[in-house]
Each structure stands twice: as C-alpha cells, then as structure tokens.
C-alpha cells in the first residue's frame, strides 16, 4: 500500500540504530522472576497478533524478520487473528498445559484481567527508563494495572474524525465541525441538499468497536469514566447517558446510516470510500484506505482531524493502545521481552508508520516524518496528549459484552438509553464477584 504520509526522504539507515538497541536490550534482559533459556541454543517464540487495524501482517512479519536477523538464535512464529477472537484465544490457550504463547497482544482494558489470572508477567523493573519517558503517557498507561507494568506498549492509536472535503464544499461548509452539535448541523445540511442520503457512518456493530465510539463521545459530554474510584458504575448517567442519547438521535434524525448497527471499522471505510457517507470516526489506518485510488472513489477528497468536542472538552479520543505482554508460562521470558522491546522501538515504529503513528514523542518533532501530512501529525499529537481510557477492571470483558448488547438495544429502540444502561449498571456488583 502506498503511504500517503511517507515521502522519499523517510528512508533512513536503520541497522546502526537497531544494532545499538540490541546491545541495550541485552543489558536489560534477565533479573527478578525470570529464567534465561541458557545454553546458547536455538530458541523458538510463539506469538499472537491482531489481524486488523494498525500494523499490517506484512509489517509485523518484516519487523520479526529484522529481529531474527539481529538475533540469529531466536526463531519467532507469528499467528494472526481478528480482534474479536484475540481475547478468548489468549485466555483459552494460556489456561491449559504449558500455554501456547510466549508473547500476547493485550488491549488497553485487559491488563487487570490478565494480571489477576496470572496470564502475563509483571515487567515493571525490566522496561528501560528511556522507554517510559520517551513514549506518550497515554501509550504507557495502556499496559498499567495497580501501578505495575504488564506489557510493552506497542500500538498507540485513537479514533480520528474523517470527512469528505468535496461534499462539505458542495454544501457550503467551510471548515470541519469542532463539536458534536456542529456534526449534527452539518449532517442535516448535507442531507437536505441531497448530497448524501446518510452523512454519518459508524462502527456500531455489537462489538468492542461501538464501545470505543460511545466512550469517545461520552468523554466530551461530561462522562470520561465508566466506573468511579469506589468501583461504582457511572456510565448510566452524565456523559455516558448523553452520548448514547446523542447516538440514538442521529438515527432518528435520519443522518446516521442505519446499517451502522452492523458495521465494523472496515465497513465505515468502505461506505465513505464509496461516497455513501461524508463523515465517520476511525483509527489511523483509515486515512490511507480512504485516499487510495485503487480502493476509494473519493481518494484525495478525504481529510482528517481530531475528534469533535463537547460541553466538557474541546476534543477527546478513546485510548486504542495495545501492548505486547510476556506470558507467565513462557520458558524464554528474556527473549520474549527482547522481542517486545524490539517491536516497540523507535526505529521500528518510525519505519512502519503507514497505518498507525509511533508512540514516541520525539517522532512528532521530526520533519522528515511529519512533512508529508503535517495536519494529521498535529492532530495526532494533540489527541495523544490526553486520551480517555476504557476501565481497567478484571471483569471488563463481561462489562463490555453487556454494554454492547445494551447499546444495540437502545439504538434499535427496543429500550430507552436510560433503561438499557441502568440494567447493565445493576449487574456490575455480580460481575465483580
């Protein structure tokens, strides 16, 4: 895929940097609660990755190939699964026998569950200090639980606001909306002028995707928290309730494509790419898809900005970060950690940034990276400075599954937003048992 953000000047010699990094990683391996493979023999690591947004399969394989070249005694097997299958596959594999994986890809809400279930290792004392200080705080927090670090942050992403500049111009709209109220106003104008039947497309399928959209909107409507410090649910009032009411109203107003209730993120891309929507939220990778002339009828017409704001914030983004965690059952924890740190290194992330931004703060000040699309880099830097997190609680999977059902019920009209959220809130005490 052609990277619209990458120019010829992007290519820089990586091997000197990577060779130096190998030395640094070797120095940090070993230590408390680990056993070295020893003997200098061949080591095989079995790993699992996400087959979806952010880094492509080919990019992950290229990173691994480079790692194997720099570490000839380590062989890495990579398995790729869809996000929706990732959690359960990890839990099932690691709950029996010696476990299937040496490293696993861990979503932002999972550290609590995986740590309490002893699926992943505490690596608090093994992450280099310059790593902790060098990446965005929002990236590093994606691996934290109870003040400890349970994975190496790898993916740093959020949902951005994509819009069709040409459609906006046809409607006389001169700038992208800065608030969700303006989104509604612009959408109604686009519809009334006959430019597009359904101006908005969303990933509101009964999956984690709808939780991300809901959380992103809720954060700027006064409700960035799902659960308070005492463990009580707060999502059924304030911003959480307002966000769901907003979502339902866009359907009732005829500005949201009703098919959004079955859309995943790729479906949002496809709808916008076909010219059948003017606006939508999606992860970083959407930019290249929508501006690829081989895949999009509107290539060149799509622009991107940070997500709109609301009553309590000028903008917000949901934390879509993911970490590479070392499992408790691996026989090669040092080598597994070395792989994780390699994959998350600044050189690797800057080379493979076609579909996701680096998590390193310094990358955003390098003009050879940012020059080809400075507006997108600026929007990302602003968004990454303050992302809203989904709750890191041991029962998150059960909570999310229940909320997905409730949100669908509200959007379909079988229950009011208040009723749907109240019913989930009432179940939280049992989820905590």
Q: How many CA atoms lie within 13 A of 308 on its CB side?
A: 23
Domains 8-156+322-380 and 160-318+395-431 share a fold: yes
Using one digit for the tens of pLDDT, what is the confidence trace for 358-381? 999 999 999 999 998 999 999 999
Q: What is the pLDDT of residue 355?
A: 85
CATH for the 8-156+322-380 domain, from 3.30.70.3420, 3.10.129.10, 3.30.110.60, 3.40.190.10: 3.40.190.10
Q: Which residues contact 352 (CB under 8 A, 6 or more apart)?
A: 55, 59, 62, 63
Q: Over 90: is that where the pLDDT of 386 sits?
A: no
- What gap in Å lies between CA 322 and CA 334, rounded to an integer? 20
Q: Which of 35, 79, 115, 21 is nearest to 333 (CA)?
A: 35
Domain ranges in the chain are 8-156+322-380, 160-318+395-431
Angle at 98 between CA 96 and CA 104, to 5 degrees: 85
- State mean pLDDT over 113-120: 97
Q: Over 90: is that where the pLDDT of 33 sits?
A: no
- State mean pLDDT over 267-296: 97
Q: What is the pLDDT of residue 96?
A: 85
Q: Over 80: is that where the pLDDT of 22 sits?
A: no
Q: What is the pLDDT of residue 10?
A: 31
Architecture of domain 160-318+395-431: 3-Layer(aba) Sandwich (3.40)
Burial (CB count within 10 angstroms: exposed 0-12, middle 13-18, buried 19+), residue 10 = middle
Average pLDDT over all residues of the chain? 90
Q: Are strands 200-201 and 152-155 parallel, antiparallel or unpaired?
A: unpaired
Q: Over 60: is that where the pLDDT of 431 sits?
A: yes
Going by pLDDT thresholds of 50, 70 and 90, the confidence category of residue 32 is very low
Q: Over 90: is that where the pLDDT of 294 sits?
A: yes
Q: Over 70: is that where the pLDDT of 280 sits?
A: yes
* Ramachandran quadrant class, 141 (left: phi over 0; alpha: psi -120 to 50; beta: rest): alpha
Q: What is the pLDDT of residue 310?
A: 86
Using one digit for the tens of pLDDT, what is the confidence trace for 58-102? 999 999 999 999 999 999 999 999 999 999 999 999 988 888 999
Using one digit for the tens of pLDDT, what is the confidence trace for 296-328? 999 999 999 999 998 777 878 999 999 999 999
Q: What is the pLDDT of residue 354?
A: 84
Q: What is the pLDDT of residue 40?
A: 61
What pTM was computed for the model? 0.86
């Amino acid at each position: 895929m052609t990277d619209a953000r990458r120019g010829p000047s992007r290519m820089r010699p990586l091997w000197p940097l990577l060779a130096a990094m190998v030395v640094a990683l070797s120095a940090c391996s070993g230590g408390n609660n680990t056993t070295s493979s020893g003997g200098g023999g061949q080591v095989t690591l079995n790993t699992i990755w996400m087959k979806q947004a952010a880094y492509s399969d080919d990019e992950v394989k290229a990173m691994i190939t480079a790692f194997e070249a720099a570490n000839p005694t380590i062989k890495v097997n990579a398995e790729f699964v869809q996000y929706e299958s990732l959690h359960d596959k990890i839990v099932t594999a690691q709950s029996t026998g010696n476990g299937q994986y040496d490293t696993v890809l861990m979503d932002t809400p999972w550290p609590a569950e995986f740590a309490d279930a002893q699926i992943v290792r505490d690596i608090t004392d093994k992450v280099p200090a310059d790593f902790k200080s060098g990446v965005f705080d929002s990236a590093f927090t994606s691996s934290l639980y109870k003040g400890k670090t349970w994975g190496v942050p790898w993916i740093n992403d959020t949902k951005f606001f994509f819009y069709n500049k040409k459609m906006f111009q046809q409607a006389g709209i001169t700038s992208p909306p800065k608030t969700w109220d303006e989104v509604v106003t612009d959408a109604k104008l686009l519809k009334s002028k006959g430019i597009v039947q359904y101006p908005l497309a969303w990933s509101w399928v009964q999956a984690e995707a709808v939780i991300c959209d809901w959380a992103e909107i809720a954060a700027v409507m006064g409700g960035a928290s799902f659960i308070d410090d005492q463990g009580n649910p707060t999502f059924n009032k304030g911003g959480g309730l307002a966000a769901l009411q907003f979502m339902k109203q866009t359907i009732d107003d005829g500005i949201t494509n009703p098919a959004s209730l079955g859309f995943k993120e790729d479906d949002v891309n496809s709808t916008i790419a076909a010219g059948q929507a003017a606006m939508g939220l999606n992860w970083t990778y959407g930019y290249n898809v929508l501006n690829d002339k081989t895949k999009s009828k509107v290539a060149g017409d799509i622009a991107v900005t940070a997500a709109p704001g609301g009553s309590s914030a000028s903008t917000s983004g949901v934390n879509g970060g993911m970490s590479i965690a070392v499992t408790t059952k691996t026989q090669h924890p040092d080598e597994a950690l070395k792989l994780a740190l390699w994959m998350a290194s600044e050189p690797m992330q800057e080379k493979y940034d076609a579909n996701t931004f680096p998590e390193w703060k310094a990358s955003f000040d390098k003009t050879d990276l940012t020059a080809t699309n400075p507006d997108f880099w600026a929007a990302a830097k602003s968004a990454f400075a303050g992302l809203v997190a989904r709750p890191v609680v041991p029962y998150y999977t059960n909570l999310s599954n229940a909320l997905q059902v409730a949100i669908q019920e509200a959007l379909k009209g079988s229950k009011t937003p208040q009723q749907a959220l109240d019913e989930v809130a009432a179940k939280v005490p049992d989820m905590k048992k």
